[in-house]
Amino acid sequence: MNDKPTVVFLCVHNAGRSQMAAGWMRHLVGERVNVFSGGSEPAA
């Protein structure tokens, strides 16, 4: 069982905002949190 919290950053296309937020979160917390990014309408 994984006891780490999970954070998901979402934006419409996952083209920049959520990816930047996820990268910054990973930089700040390291391996203490599972971090993901995604889009509600990802581009092809």
Hunting for tokens 């959520």 — which residue is that?
18
- Give me the residue spans of the domains in the chain: 6-39
Model-level pTM greater than 0.75? yes
- pLDDT digits over 7-43, tens only? 999 999 888 899 999 999 999 999 999 999 999 887 7
- Residue 1 banded pLDDT, cuts 50, 70, 90: low
Sequence-separated (6 or more) residues with CB below 8 Å from residue 29: 35
Query: Given its phi and psi angles, is residue 4 left (phi above 0), alpha (psi -120 to 50 degrees) or beta?
Result: beta
Sequence-separated (6 or more) residues with CB below 8 Å from residue 38: 8, 9, 10, 14, 18
Question: Looking at the predicted structure, is the pLDDT value of residue 2 above 80?
Answer: no
What pLDDT score was predicted for residue 41? 86
